[in-house]
């Protein structure tokens, strides 16, 4: 189905927006660098983009062992698609979408 929609959009030379609501993948992580590219493409203002990306910065992971906690180093986190932060992201997307549709 997706392929047919993409082909139709190519032929008609129109914008195609796809949204996936796959609940099986609700715990996948979207890396911060991917989100930054999306924000760049949407034209999200720089200050807002920096604030949102800072929420997803790298963090220190510690693992509980029988003799205490072991630091495993710094890891980059992404936003969980089922995360409460997703609401904030939807707000940014909708603002950018409304702004771009007004200008079209």
Supply the pTM of this predicted model: 0.34
H helix count then E strand count, the chain: 4, 4
Instruction: Write out pLDDT tens, residues 41-55.
Output: 888 888 877 776 666
Least confident of 22-26, 60-64, 88-92, 95-99: 22-26
* Residue boundaries of the structural domains of the chain: 23-103
Which two structure tokens, joined as six digits, stand for 62? 């510690």
């Amino acid at each position: 189905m997706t392929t047919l929609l993409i082909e139709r959009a190519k032929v008609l030379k129109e914008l195609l927006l796809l949204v996936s609501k796959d609940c099986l993948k609700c715990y996948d992580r979207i890396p911060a660098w991917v989100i930054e590219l999306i924000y760049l493409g949407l034209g999200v203002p720089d200050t807002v983009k920096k604030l949102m990306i800072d929420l997803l910065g790298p963090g220190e992971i510690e693992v509980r062992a029988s003799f205490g906690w072991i630091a495993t180093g710094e890891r980059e986190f992404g936003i969980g698609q089922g995360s409460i932060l997703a609401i904030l992201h939807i707000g940014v997307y909708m603002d950018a979408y409304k702004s771009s549709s007004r200008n079209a």
